[in-house]
Amino acid sequence: MALRDWDLWGPFFFIVFLGLTLSWSASVKKSEVFAVAFALLAAGAVILTLNVLLLGGHIVFFQSLSLLGYCLFPLDVGALICMMENNVILKMIVVCVTLAWSSWAAYPFMSSAVNLSRKALALYPVFLMYVSVGFLTIAID
């Protein structure tokens, strides 16, 4: 991925798509589900970037937003599959695989941006965000 050419269309599309997919899968409170998913992802990306900057890391703000947005692609695929499936075990497996894929994609960028002694502090929130999105994907029925 050409990291220097960041753009926000991709992340925007992925976030909206994930929100829509989760909203379609929900049987009640659809608009609230979309609102929660969109807010979580959009605010989450901004806050994660700010977190790295505050810990004294060196990243470009929009580059990081762009990367975190594009790394949502596996979770989008996972959410799409989970929308069409109803088996909980299968959903869990799919979400775990896509979660691992997303984390593996985001890890090199995030870990190289901060000091070695603060790496875990920068990576934990990324992990938290992806796990919460994964949980939403499994839990929404």
Partner 1 sequence: MDESSYWNLPSSHLLGSVPAVVNEESEASYGRRGGGGRGYQTLGPPTEGFEQQSQNNWKGVFSISSYTQYFDVDTDVVVNRLISSFYPAGGDFFNKIGANPDLYGLIWITTTLVFMLAAFGNCATYLIQKRTDRTTTWSFDVGYVNAAACGIYGYSLVVPVAFYFLLRYLGSNASLIRFWCMWGYSLSIFIPTAFLLLIPVEILRWIIILVAGTASSCFVTLNLTSYIGGSNDLRMMMIAAFLLQMALAIFIKVWFFP
* Contacts with partner 1, residue ranges (CB under 8 A): 26-29, 32-33, 36, 50-51, 53-56, 115, 117-121, 124-125, 128, 131-132, 135, 139-141
User: Running DSSP on this structure, what letter comes out for residue 58?
Assistant: -
Q: Rounded to 5 degrees, what angle do the CA atoms 75, 14, 9 make? A: 150
- Least distance (Å) from partner 1 to the CB of residue 27? 8
Task: Decide if 33 contacts 140 (C-beta within 8 A).
Answer: yes
**Rounded-to-integer distance, Cα 103 and Cα 98, Å:** 9
- Shortest spacing between CB 81 and partner 1, in angstroms: 18
- Comparing CB distances to partner 1, the nearer of 74 and 134 is 134
We find the least distance from the C-beta atom of residue 24 to partner 1, in angstroms, to be 14
